[in-house]
Amino acid sequence: MEKVNSTKVFIVDDHQLVIDGIQALLKDESDYTIVGTSQKATEVLDRMYDLNVDILITDINMPEMSGIVLTKQIKLRYPGIKILALSMFGDRHVIKEMIEAGINGYILKNTGKVELMEALEKVSKGQCFFSDEVTKVLVRSFKKEEEFSHLTNREIEIIRLIEQELSNKQIANALFISERTVETHRKNIFRKTGTQSVVGLLKYAYEHKLI
């Protein structure tokens, strides 16, 4: 199993089955050796110390510590480790944050073995790899670049107050502005986020981590 020139891979995912799955997929690939796995992002940092890991495959949505935080920590303490993000979703903001955190690749869990191998190969060579869907999001994002959904600070502040169950009047009092102003902000918020109700807005806010 251990091979001198093989790439050392470490897997972090809170779903053991995904870990086992990837492990099974890579078992026969002598180019890759899995040197460790973990269900908790929090314990990964210390385990990196003596393993000489080449590629860290990490889930993004994990309890306790997200893949984003983990990536930042890893890149800070072990800049040599390449990171391949593995996620259920191709959310624009998450992708953006992960890229800013310094990932080398981003694949979705609905991709298969072939793409995983391709991703590992590219990443191990120092190149980048993104799933088609992720690339699509990137391109779209690049084209419109915030154009339609750039919420101002004031708007985000108001979304948070809405989430606190304040009515327009209460928000107006809290911020020392007129109720009319709050109404205008709400209108702009709905327009920018493409939502039409508080419910939709809050789902948007949760998704985009505004709250």
Partner DNA sequence: TTGAGCATACCCAATAGCTGGTATTTTTAC
Partner DNA sequence: GTAAAAATACCAGCTATTGGGTATGCTCAA
List residues binding a copy of itself (CB under 8 A): 14-22, 24-25, 27, 39, 86, 88, 108-113, 116, 162-163, 165, 196-200, 202
Q: Are 162 and 201 in contact (CB under 8 A)?
A: yes
Which listed residue (92, 122, 154, 208) binds DNA by CB under 7 A? 154
- C-alpha closest to that of 96 among 144, 56, 62: 144
Compare residues 110 and 196 and give the one whose CB is closer to DNA: 196
- Provide the sign of the torsion angle of the four alpha carbons 101, 22, 61, 48, taken in this order: negative
The one-character DSSP state at 62 is: -
Q: Are 134 and 90 in contact (CB under 8 A)?
A: yes
Compare residues 89 and 190 and give the one whose CB is closer to DNA: 190
CB of 119 to DNA, least distance (A): 30
Compare residues 46 and 142 and give the one whose CB is closer to DNA: 142
Tally the residues of the chain: 211
Compare residues 79 and 176 and give the one whose CB is closer to DNA: 176
CB of 207 to DNA, least distance (A): 18
Q: Are 7 and 35 in contact (CB under 8 A)?
A: no
CB of 13 to a copy of itself, least distance (A): 9
Residue partners of 211: CB distance under 8 A and separation at least 6: 159, 160, 163, 202, 205
- Provide the sign of the torsion angle of the four alpha carbons 171, 174, 179, 184, taken in this order: negative
CB of 64 to a copy of itself, least distance (A): 13
Distance, CA of 161 to CA of 7 (rounded, Å):
49
The one of a copy of itself, DNA, none whose footprint includes residue 208, by CB under 5 to 8 A per kind, is none
The site string for DNA over 164-193 (x = CB under 7 A, - otherwise) reads ---xxx-----x-xxxxx-xxxxx--x---
Binding site for DNA (CB under 7 A): 150, 152-155, 167-169, 175, 177-181, 183-187, 190, 196-198
